[in-house]
Structure 1
């Protein structure tokens, strides 16, 4: 089976918001066509609407011919029938709504923007199932005609890539952003099993370390939300058995309950003040009817003292959960104090002249150092308002202890939601 052809290089202008910081840049972006796996439907591997799964791919070249970067697209989840119906006609529910896309950041083919992975085979798995590629329900909902087959999509894409040359991989990295970053964690060991034993195989989760915390009202919103996802999509059988054998499958959708049993080297890239989690899990829907958190969740510099205290507690809980990863150099960390969510897909954040830095390294450099075992990478930034890494100005990193507390018990995450902002009563 042949690999893919590059399509064209175009001019891409990107302007995004990360907190209140605007990154603008112009560069040549590789535009990549969609590969649709029509034959995969025979195995039941389909999107929410029943259309075939798909991915975007660009072939490796030169020294990167036998190296593979497989990146899983993000896009949240759908947790019930009506919510999934709302996604089915768009690109997050149907390959029929997908088209060509530009590759940038970790997927860029320009050496100056992606110096370590630019010439690898690069694949972006299109996300159209709403379950972080974990769903597997044989029956089709008789009314909505929805299909919940995310796990089969992952298997079908892996099989296709295997036939296109990934079975000869010397290096391979499974990565993903947001819901895709969660998928990279949940499928990490499975990905390793598919590749040659002699290959260097690792996983990277970008913005995918979702924390089980209470919201500002003290409710378990995100836990209940994840539970509905797992139930709706029949995800239990696809989640790591090392976790589901000990606790509810819904809890195994949280990385903090899974990562301790992952044997494949894992790199966690995340903002300690993850903007999606703060806006959706911490200040969950309906908890801020008066709008007192509106400015704070848009720009943490606008938070009052009580709100800032809650954010700092969220950070402490996040770092506490990461301690479960242990001290092994196989585990990499880049946890900055940016108010951000996903930092690999845009060159402005991945590797650019004003990209975020920790230990004087861009994200791209830190990931490469870890992947090639050049050094241990466990970079954790100091707390907000020490968020200057987002602007690439001098900062002080914080010592991060992966050990045990004075009582000899493993450090674990606590819930910041029990403490409410001062002006919320």
Structure 2
């Protein structure tokens, strides 16, 4: 069985406390909370500590606490941003989502899950123009970005881009899964748009990396019985969780989906899900964090946009800095959507020229990326 490398431990932020254990460590022995940022930590049982600690310049983001404690820390010079009741999400969250968190209550149907309820809230609030709701979305997305940066500190991230319409049970879906598995086994952290189709396949492959090859073949057969999230997201997601239950402890990968495309649910194979309300923030962030390169599978308008969004910083990068770009399927990228000729012309004479490749077969993509990366 191949060992899958774990993500590096997140970078320590000296002044950010994101768990009760971190909070207790700082305040043990009368330690000061001055100028700390305490994020989404339940402090209702820490009233005595809060009443005695130095809180000057501290900021408490979405931390439940007793009224007496809140009044005291404010008087001591702290800022307190209280939890917002009635939301289907925590705008001050300190970590990326997990599949289990987003799909809680799936047994009652997808509409009952936090993921579906957050999308419904988004649909209501974006239509009424409520400035408070837009502020909450912005705060949420910023905390998700912060959590993602901490999670990926030191990781060699490869983005895998492709369309959402790729069905389970197809040869292309199986190929994308093999790609995710090979990249993960090579020590990369696979990051996708976090949705269905090619994105799910690559995250599935990363999940399968610690197991023998027969596991992925069997999982593909099981998933093929529910090819798409249409007409039932519930059945589609249950099939993925059935695979996770049968083979627990899979490899780690990242999904970066968005509620902007609420009809596309997140897939359950990404260990960490950085879900955003703002699609532009999500797309730019995913590409920017793919520091070891990007593989572009056949796709339509969205994937074409991602190719050139990724090409722009590479075009202006200094020698040695551009991240590899690998396009898969020569016919697709030269005839159906002739992106490759334009990309090659753009790269001519630039440092990125030696960092782009076009391959015919998806099984050649990981090897091409590793060669380009040196």
Higher share of residues assigned helix: 2
Larger Rg, first or second structure (1 or 2): 2
